[in-house]
Amino acid sequence: MNMKVVLFLALSLTSGLTFAQGKFITDAGIAINSSDFEEAKSAIEKAEAEIGKKESAGEKIEDKDLRKFWRYKEHIFLRLANNQPDTLLKQNYLSLSKEAALKYFEVDKSKYYETEVKEDMAALSVLYQNVGVEYFNKRDFVNASKMFEESIALNKACGKEDFKLYHNAAFSAIYAKNYDAAISYFNVLIANKYNDQNSLVTYKRKLVHAYSEQGNKEMALNKLTEFNSGDSINMDLLKEEIAILVEMNKTDDALKKMDQLVKMGYKDALTLENMGILYDQIGDSKKAIASYQAALQIDSSRANSYYGIGKVICLDYNTINQEINVLNKENENLQTVHPNKEQNKINANSKLVAEKEKAAIAKAQEALEYIEKALFYAPNDKDALTLAMQIYKNLGQKEKAAAVKERLSHL
């Protein structure tokens, strides 16, 4: 606050007040003029006590006196807050200053100090914001969110709007898991197209995240559809949509969006790997393997992709074994019922069984190569170890199977 305003405050005092609080208010004004805010605090608190007594007794306090009282009180505690290093005491002073400022506007019908009070409220808003930043830097997002909320309310009260403040409030709220507040602030930032295009994308993603964490995934998807409509499709928002679709078990829709992402030129090993997982889930083995292999072309150390390929190949191995079992069962029946008449059929089946057994062994060995690569990059992966142990058993490699079983027992 500039010195012209401070001087005006002091000179505007009248000596005609005849009751006790008048003297204390006068004392507060003198102390303000001499920048002795501790003395001013003492005087204004005495004035408040006297006003309380008179109001309790049913005596009316003149609006002009109340106006002066609230004006001085908000200014005194603003200055005390500004000079106070202790965060909690600073917050207390800020709260008292804010309360007094709002009370001033209730009683001042003539708008006598309106400009000065609004200037102080703007300064008070900055102090609240500074405290919010302190809390944010300490990762106390709950208190940071409260401080920024107070700052926004003060700005509104004095007719100002600071979108950087909404930015701070939005991120504090979402980190504090106050999703309703986060949604409100991010919507303001998006509606006003605050900051650059990259920031807008971040705000949209965070808004969607807030809806999703709130449990309103349908609204999150609706927002993504709104943001990614038209000719311009943002890859980051598309990835966000895919993640939500996967969470909601909308596999077909997720795969369509993933395919769209890849066709847009997005080459990411994790996305391709996830496509493999989803294709595996719906039973499309060929596309699953192709997706895993594409992921490995980008990043050859992805254990999950090696495991995924090995797992899919094991399905083929199981299918061949099932076919072998069917043929062996058929031969058992033929040998029991017509062993002589069906000998040609039995021989044909036996030959086919031998061929399939070779194919099954080849599949098992092929799967094992991928599983072993998965274990090279992720030695403690229980799923990969369990599958490796089973394959070793099927291939008759008992010692290796036992060694893997021992490893599993220590996990």
List, for residues 100-116, the tens digit of each pLDDT value.
998 998 888 778 888 89
- Say how far apart CA 377 and CA 194 lie, in whole Å: 44
Q: Count of H helices and E strands in the chain?
A: 19, 0
Q: Name the most confidently modeled range: 110-114, 222-226, 295-299.
A: 295-299
Q: What's the whole-number mean pLDDT along residues 114-130?
A: 91
Is the sign of the CA dihedral 325, 327, 331, 333 positive or negative? positive
- Say how far apart CA 12 and CA 112 lie, in whole Å: 11
Q: What's the whole-number mean pLDDT along residues 88-103?
A: 92
Check residue 381 and give its pLDDT: 95
In this structure, how many other beta carbons lie within 10 angstroms of the beta carbon of residue 86? 9
What single letter denotes the amino acid at residue 243?
A
Q: How far is CA 90 from CA 72, 94, 200, in A?
A: 18, 6, 34
For residue 100, tell me if it sits in a domain. Answer: yes
Contacts (Cβ under 8 Å, ≥6 apart) of 75: 1, 9, 32, 97, 116, 120
Q: Give the phi and the psi of residue 17 in degrees, each rounded to 5.
A: -70, 130
- 407 is written with which tokens? 């490893």
Q: Give the phi and the psi of residue 357 in degrees, each rounded to 5.
A: -65, -40
Count of structural domains within the chain? 1
What single letter denotes the amino acid at residue 164?
K
Q: What's the whole-number mean pLDDT along residues 106-131?
A: 89
What is the band of 11 on the pLDDT scale with cuts at 50, 70, 90? Answer: very low
* Helix (H/G/I), strand (E/B), else coil: 379: coil
* Helix (H/G/I), strand (E/B), else coil: 375: helix
Task: Work out the percent of the chain whose per-residue pLDDT is above 90.
Answer: 55
User: Contact 186/206 with Cβ under 8 angstroms?
Assistant: yes
Check residue 158 and give its pLDDT: 82
Q: Flag whether pLDDT at 19 surpasses 60.
A: no
Check residue 354 and give its pLDDT: 92
For residue 273, tell me if it sits in a domain. Answer: no
Q: What's the whole-number mean pLDDT along residues 79-83?
A: 91
Lowest-confidence range among 86-90, 179-183, 366-370? 86-90
Q: Tokens 């927002």 identify what position? A: 223
What single letter denotes the amino acid at residue 80?
L
For residue 17, tell me if it sits in a domain. Answer: yes
For residue 290, tell me if it sits in a domain. Answer: no
For residue 269, tell me if it sits in a domain. Answer: no
Q: What's the whole-number mean pLDDT along residues 315-343?
A: 85
What is the band of 18 on the pLDDT scale with cuts at 50, 70, 90? Answer: very low
For residue 400, tell me if it sits in a domain. Answer: no
Q: Flag whether pLDDT at 236 surpasses 70.
A: yes
Check residue 166 and give its pLDDT: 95
What single letter denotes the amino acid at residue 54?
K
Task: Work out the percent of the chain whose per-residue pLDDT is above 70.
Answer: 94
* Average pLDDT along the chain: 88
Lowest-confidence range among 78-82, 329-333, 384-388? 329-333
- Say how far apart CA 337 and CA 318 lie, in whole Å: 29
What is the band of 21 on the pLDDT scale with cuts at 50, 70, 90? Answer: low
What is the band of 314 on the pLDDT scale with cuts at 50, 70, 90? Answer: very high
What is the value of pTM for the model shown? 0.68
For residue 20, tell me if it sits in a domain. Answer: yes
Domain residues for the domain of 26 are 1-140
Helices 87-107, 114-137: inter-axial angle, 10-degree rounding: 150
User: Contact 256/242 with Cβ under 8 angstroms?
Assistant: no
Check residue 343 and give its pLDDT: 83
In this structure, how many other beta carbons lie within 10 angstroms of the beta carbon of residue 18? 7
Q: What's the whole-number mean pLDDT along residues 373-397?
A: 94
Q: Cα(first)–Cα(last) distance of the chain, in Å?
A: 66
Q: Which pLDDT tens digit goes with each residue over 184-222? A: 999 999 999 887 778 889 999 999 999 999 999 999 999
For residue 45, tell me if it sits in a domain. Answer: yes
Using a 10 angstrom Cβ sphere, with 0-12 exposed, 13-18 middle and 19 or more buried, the burial of residue 295 is buried
Q: For 299, which DSSP code? A: -
* Helix (H/G/I), strand (E/B), else coil: 308: helix
Q: Flag whether pLDDT at 9 surpasses 50.
A: no
User: Contact 241/224 with Cβ under 8 angstroms?
Assistant: yes
